[in-house]
Amino acid sequence: PVALKHGAHRVGKRTDADMAKWRSYGLGQFIHWGLYSILEGKYNGKYYNGAAEWIRSWKEVPHAEYDSLYKQFNPENFNPTQWAKMAKQMGVKYVTFTTKHHDGFCLWPSQYTQYTVANSPYKKDIVKQVVDAYTKEGIDVYLYFSVMDWSHPDWRTDLKTKEDSVAFDRFKLFTKNQLTELLKMYPQTKGLWFDGTWDTSWKKSGAFSDSLEQHLKSLIPGLIIGSRLRADEFGNRHNDANGVLMGDYEQGWERKIPKTYADVHGNDWDCVMTIPENGWGYAEKWLGHWKTSYECIEMTTQCVSLGGNFVLNFGPKADGTFRPEEITVAKEMGDWMKVNNAAIYDCEYANCEKQDWGYFTKKQNDDKIYMVVFNVPINGSLKVKLPKNTSIGKASLLQAPSTVLSTEQLDYNASYIQLPKGMKPTSPFVIVIDTKQQSQVETEQKAKT
Ligand SMILES: C[C@@H]1N[C@@H](C(=O)NCc2ccccc2)[C@H](O)[C@@H]1O
């Protein structure tokens, strides 16, 4: 292995209680809200076909125009309690909220810049209101922070000259100061979700990113920070020069989901996902397909079945309200989670091979296995293959525990589960199976002879 001073400081998953809590979440909410929400993905009557929160980078938008949008920011319908209650009903266990996106506008009254909500007509501290309201609903709060800051004169995409390095040193101190004040002002923060760290300037700042991470963790012990913050001293990101993941979980799954367990390399990970095809900030027009609650339920299940968390994004309008499509997705997911959350919360990879009818999840610290069924074969019987020497003890419906399902054993680790005759599922449902090991089976069979 390569001798590294600023690579990963741990091999394998964190084993502390704070990380165990993170690992148990299953479902989270992302919220992207900022000045881009005012433009709604369009400018001068033309629609931007990129991600709406990137509209400042569109050639049609003069930077000075964009940067003066803060003078209009006054979300009169912003009601953080309503936001938190919608999230609670949806069944999310944590929220990740944009404190500062790439445009550099701060939704908290930072003392290190004038470009903040304190200087908008709204004036009040939005981050505080979100942190307090979600914490009150029992939802853990994580803060999104973009290192890349298009508004800051000292931001550099690369460090080509001495001047670049002198400026970027000032920028790094500014970044450290802002993050320090965020953790001091909002000590309930459970973790930081970093973004905007792909440029060469940051790849050349591996040692700084390492000391910054350690500094932040000294302010809030147990703080959870993903792999997107760090670079090692050779400019490697996510995995260091020895292929070891830096940070507490892998943050590479943006708008994509791993196909197999092998793809997650034994790491903790989250998948962050948009309801439209792309775009995190509010856009008046959603281009292409946007996801139904059914698709979001399947993605949540898929992520939990591979040991990760699914974090679904909501982009409120500039006035603080959510669009109907997002309200509907939250409501319908919540209705499903109300009945089926046992297969999502505190669950992990079941180490069973994927089968056509849906996904396996397994209760952490327990042998209970859940089958979340999305596809019922025409003959109404589900073929279930379990790990070697493992067979079904009892199969029952999560939503009707007294309904025991008839199972026909094919061999030690395969069975057919027959659905009850009259059962006509109209939404994904969960079968709970108590497993038994082959040695148990043999004992029972011997007892019979
Ligand atoms: C969470 C999202 N990340 C921001 C972004 O710039 N994504 C572009 C990107 C896409 C894939 C890997 C790294 C970066 C988007 O604007 C959202 O904030």
Asked if pLDDT for residue 217 goes beyond 90, the answer is yes
Q: What is the pLDDT of residue 329?
A: 98
The pLDDT of 37-61, averaged and rounded, is 98
The answer for 407, left when phi > 0, alpha when psi is -120 to 50, beta otherwise, is beta
User: How far apart, in whole angstroms, are the C-alpha atoms of residue 402 and residue 56?
Assistant: 57
pLDDT recorded at residue 188: 98
Closest CA to 290 of 298, 279, 301, 302: 279
* Distance (Å) from CA 195 to ligand 1 centroid: 7
> Which of 21 and 388 is assigned the larger pLDDT?
21
Q: Is the pLDDT of residue 421 over 90?
A: no
Residue ranges in 221-357 assigned as alpha helix (H): 293-305, 324-340
- Say what the pLDDT of residue 316 is: 98
Tokens of 380: 């109404």
Specify the residue with its C-alpha closest to ligand 1, atom 10.
Answer: 254
Residue 441 reports pLDDT greater than 60: no
DSSP reduced 3-state for 55: helix
Residue closest via CA to ligand 1's atom 12 equals 254
Return the best residue to mutate from 56, 280, 311 for the ligand 1 pocket (most ligand atoms within 8 A of CB).
280
Q: For residue 135, report the distance from its CA to the centre of ligand 1, in Å.
A: 26
Element (H, E) at 420: none
The ligand 1 atom nearest the CA atom of 272: 1
* Ligand 1 centroid to residue 335 C-alpha, Å: 30
Q: Which residue has the least CA distance to atom 3 on ligand 1?
A: 195
Closest ligand 1 atom to residue 98 Cα is 18
Q: From CA 340, how far away is CA 335, in angstroms rounded?
A: 9
- For residue range 160-177, what is the model confidence (pLDDT) as tens digits? 999 999 999 999 999 999
Residues having CB within 6 Å of any atom of ligand 1: 32, 51, 53, 195, 198, 254, 272, 280
pTM exceeds 0.95, yes or no: yes
CA of 274 relative to ligand 1 center, distance in Å: 11
Grade residue 435 by pLDDT with cuts at 50, 70 and 90. Answer: confident
User: For 402-412, what is the mean pLDDT?
Assistant: 90
Q: State which ligand 1 atom lies nearest to the alpha carbon of 53.
A: 16
DSSP type of residue 234: T
Residue 66 region by backbone torsions, left for phi larger than 0, else alpha for psi between -120 and 50, else beta: alpha
Over the chain, what is the mean pLDDT? 96
Q: Which atom of ligand 1 is nearest to the CA of 281?
A: 16
Q: Which among 93, 177, 185, 182 is positioned nearest to 139, based on CA atoms?
A: 93
φ/ψ of residue 360, rounded to 5: -90, 140
User: What is the C-alpha separation between 212 and 208, in angstroms, rounded?
Assistant: 6
What local confidence, expressed as pLDDT, does residue 211 receive?
Answer: 98
Cross-strand partners of 237: 231
Q: How confident is the model at residue 389 (pLDDT cuts 50, 70, 90)?
A: confident
Lowest mean pLDDT among 16-30, 38-52, 336-350, 433-447: 433-447
Indicate if the pLDDT at residue 437 is higher than 90. no
Q: For the stretch 34-63, what's the b/e string if a residue is b when 16 or more beta carbons lie within 10 angstroms of its beta carbon?
A: bbbbbbbbbbeeeebeebbbbbbebeebee
Ligand 1: residue of 195, 277, 313 to mutate (most ligand atoms within 8 A of CB) is 195
Q: Could you read off the pLDDT of 233-290 as tens digits, one per residue? A: 999 999 999 999 999 999 999 999 999 999 999 999 999 999 999 999 999 999 899 9
**pLDDT of 12:** 97
Percentage of the chain exceeding pLDDT 90: 92
pLDDT of residue 411: 81
Mutation pick for ligand 1 pocket among 105, 237, 254 (CB with most ligand atoms within 8 Å): 254
DSSP helix/strand/coil, 42 = strand
Cα 327 to its chain centre, rounded Å, is 19
> What pLDDT shows up at residue 144?
99
Per-residue pLDDT band for 422 (boundaries 50, 70, 90) equals confident
With a cut of 90, say whether residue 391 has pLDDT above it. Answer: no
d(CA 317, CA 75): 9
Residues 368-385: what's their mean pLDDT? 95
Residue 449's pLDDT is 67
